[in-house]
Chain A
């Protein structure tokens, strides 16, 4: 284990986290909106809640959350609390803490993303590799190309169409939500199946849209490798095409793909978040959008930070996986 490289990578991770948290800290605060005030105002509007001195109450809560301190001081406090893994309290849904909100919604997002990424990764890579392999039949190459066109179909649109036609008109799959209305999460097999049924449509919407990307890059890679010497050499050795494809071609084409996997995760996250809205899945995306709508700083930072950390960590981890797959590559 090369410690110098490890340290460099960890430093990189820290820098990414710092950059992300700083950006997400300053942006919402640049607007003059006060989320605490908006929260009370919303309650006032809908519930006949109209205390004599709204301002005093708002001021009280603002102090409690430290919103009345100078900006730089708030920044300092914020950085310090991040270091202690304390993401604070949601301004809009208090007393719920940000960690609680994330913990409750994360499983749904993870489930959706992981499944769709893995599926499209596998599907895309096979198709892409096949598309670049000169010996594969034409119809296969055309399928691969059509998936590329699908890339242009944002999962959002697909989701809308799927809900309307499959869910509403055909009544084949649920109209959204994570589980059926009125059921409470429990450990039964029925609940598990219920959840699965609810994940299908969003999953399809996401997979169809992202396979295309994998196809392109895989094909691109495959295309470069074809010219490489060792494939030609393998051919000369007399190895059958299938073996060459599997053991030489695919494996080598796979390498940069793995970094791409981590980056693609970022893309899939954003698609998933928007799709979650359409399908009313109680994942990170729904919470995030709700927070953005009400300008709930803490939740916004918390979630963006969380996602960034996840992606960056994954990238670093993946870089260390390289040697496992190809001993020629030394970590730079």
Chain B
């Protein structure tokens, strides 16, 4: 009697991509967030390829023009092409967000790991420092720093740095908490029993399970960085000549844009900012679900 070949009657698993799509369908906030973000990325990339960056600076084009075919977002008082300004501004905002966000997450992950894994004095030190620094209102400190440094040295990168300085504590504590809980759980002990090296445990067991949290922390950090840089720019503490979204709104405010009827000037960056932050928040909310397997809806 021939053994029934299972291949004919094996249940075919849909491939990973299809699984992902199905999941996205069940998690609307994550989907929407990602879609908006995708749109913004495409906008920026396409923009960067098609515009002349010089147009984002004053005296580039005719000033105070309302939106038209030639200037889709209009021009401002200083003669910037607002479409070019938006594209460059988005790019610069993304740079700040990603640089500060990535650095913050990396620092947080490393510190969190070290702290939880090795425990003892290091753990107490790191945790205490984090806990002590958290109640200090970060924005105020950032404002003080930004207000004290020489205006000529304010660039996109100094802004990212200023934002980063007080942002790394959150991820540190979160990652630490997760690593701690994993330490307790079975699979770490099992791995230890089976003779895996410490390094191996870190990379093969802990890290993969941490990825969702790291990702979530990254998103949250980017959100914070973008938010903080936006706020600093909006009160005029950013690198004034650059077309950062916050700067554009600040410039529009100081020149009385709404009042003078140049409504198109602050609208673009405002909408862009709302979309950026909104999408990040949605993704954050979606990641929440992803990270908590209990609430994942079933098909």
Q: Which residues in A have some Cβ–Cβ distance to B below 8 Å?
A: 12, 15-16, 19-20, 23-24, 27-28, 30-31, 33, 132, 145, 148-154, 156-157, 160, 164, 168, 212, 216, 219-220, 223-224, 226-227, 262-263, 266, 269-270, 273-274, 277, 288-289, 292-293, 295, 300, 303-304, 307-308, 311-312, 315
Contact = CB atoms under 8 A, between A and B. Distances in A.
Contacts of B230: 154
Interface string B17-44: 0000000000011000000000000000
B125 interface: no
Interface string B81-96: 0000000000000000
A299 to B, nearest CB: 11
B10 interface: no
A274 B294 CA distance: 40
A154 B147 contact: no
A124 B291 CA distance: 22
Contact of B137 (A12, A151, A266, A277): A266
Closest 6 CB pairs of A and B: A152-B277, A152-B278, A270-B139, A227-B294, A292-B147, A223-B295
B285 A19 contact: no
A27 B141 contact: yes
Interface in B270-284: 270, 273-282, 284
A224 B295 contact: yes
24 contacts: A15-B128, A16-B135, A19-B132, A24-B141, A27-B141, A27-B148, A28-B147, A148-B281, A150-B278, A152-B273, A152-B274, A152-B275, A153-B274, A154-B231, A154-B234, A156-B234, A164-B258, A270-B137, A270-B231, A274-B231, A277-B235, A292-B147, A304-B137, A308-B137
Contacts of B144: 24, 27-28, 292, 300, 304
A308 B280 contact: no
A219 B145 CA distance: 36
B136 A226 contact: no
Contacts of B235: 274, 277, 289
Contact of B285 (A153, A157, A216): A216
Nearest to A315: B135
Contacts of A304: 136-137, 140-141, 144
Interface residues of B, number: 49
Per DSSP, are chain A's interface residues mostly helix, strand or loop, or mixed? helix
A277 B282 CA distance: 29
Given A224-B294, A224-B295, A149 B148 contact: no
A304 B143 CA distance: 11
Contact of B288 (A23, A31, A216, A308): A216
B255 interface: no
A99 to B, nearest CB: 18
Contact of B281 (A149, A156, A269, A277): A149
Contacts of A315: 135
B216 to A, nearest CB: 11
Nearest to A292: B147
A31 B150 contact: yes
A262 B137 CA distance: 11
